[in-house]
Structures are given as structure tokens and as C-alpha cells.
Amino acid sequence: MSALDDTTRANIIGTIVGHPKGAPSKKELEYYNPSIAASTLTDHLIRLEEVGLIEAIERDREGLERGHPYRFFQLTDAARELFDRNNLFEPDAYRELFAEVEKTDEIEAAEGVERPNRRN
């Protein structure tokens, strides 16, 4: 669990857990974590994927409006089981916090994009 010793990575996990569809795009992760530079966010996402906490999922780009995301990040089943077993990253609490955040039209549009293999 040393990957989560980093506050930034823990915040990224919290953002994924709190997202209404459980799978934000990189654009959404950048919006909800404005203090993280885009390149740094990419590095953290790679690390979280390497340790098996998150996985990237992609939707078909056909029919997708220009500028809408097609790649999303969600917890792996193993991560959700681990967090549940240890009472970490409880979805309802994070979703309540997430719902209070003011969103731009662009972010609301990104949230509205259909995700593949959606898990709630």
C-alpha cells in the first residue's frame, strides 16, 4: 500500500472513488486536483496502474463529440476489495464531497460521457 503513502496519489484515488461514475477522465482528474501538474498527474496514474490500484478503460471514439474524453480511470476490483476490507475510501463519503464541487460546463460535459465497463 506504499503507493498510497503519497498524499497526491491518495487524492487521485479519492477523486476516482468520489466521481459519480467511478471513472473520471484525465481532464476531470486535472480539474479536481488543480495543484497537480498534468505531467505529474500522468506519472502518478502510471504508478497507480503499475501497483494494480487503478486501470484505464477506453470507449470507442466513433460518434464521440470533439474534445470529449474517451479514456477513463477506475479502481481495480482488487483495490476496491482491499479498501473495503480496511475501511478506506468509502464511496458514499467521497461522493458527497464530490457533489459539492462547482463544475464548469466543460467538466459537466466530460462527466456526461458514457463510460465502458461502468462500475458504481
Tens of pLDDT, residues 67-111: 889 999 999 999 999 999 999 999 999 999 989 999 999 999 999
Strand-pair partners of 74: 55
Structural domains of the chain ordered from first start: 2-112 (1.10.10.10)
The DSSP line for 40-87 is HHHHHHHHHHHTTSEEEEE---TTPPTT---EEEEE-HHHHHHHHHTT
Contact 13, 53 (CB under 8 A): yes
Higher pLDDT, 79 or 113: 79
The pLDDT confidence band at residue 2, using thresholds 50, 70 and 90, is: confident
Q: What is the pLDDT of residues 33-53, one digit of tens each?
A: 999 999 999 999 999 999 999
pLDDT at 117: 66
Residue 108, phi then psi, degrees to nearest 5: -60, -40
User: How many C-beta atoms lie closer than 10 Å to residue 96's C-beta?
Assistant: 11
Higher pLDDT, 26 or 61: 26
pLDDT at 65: 83
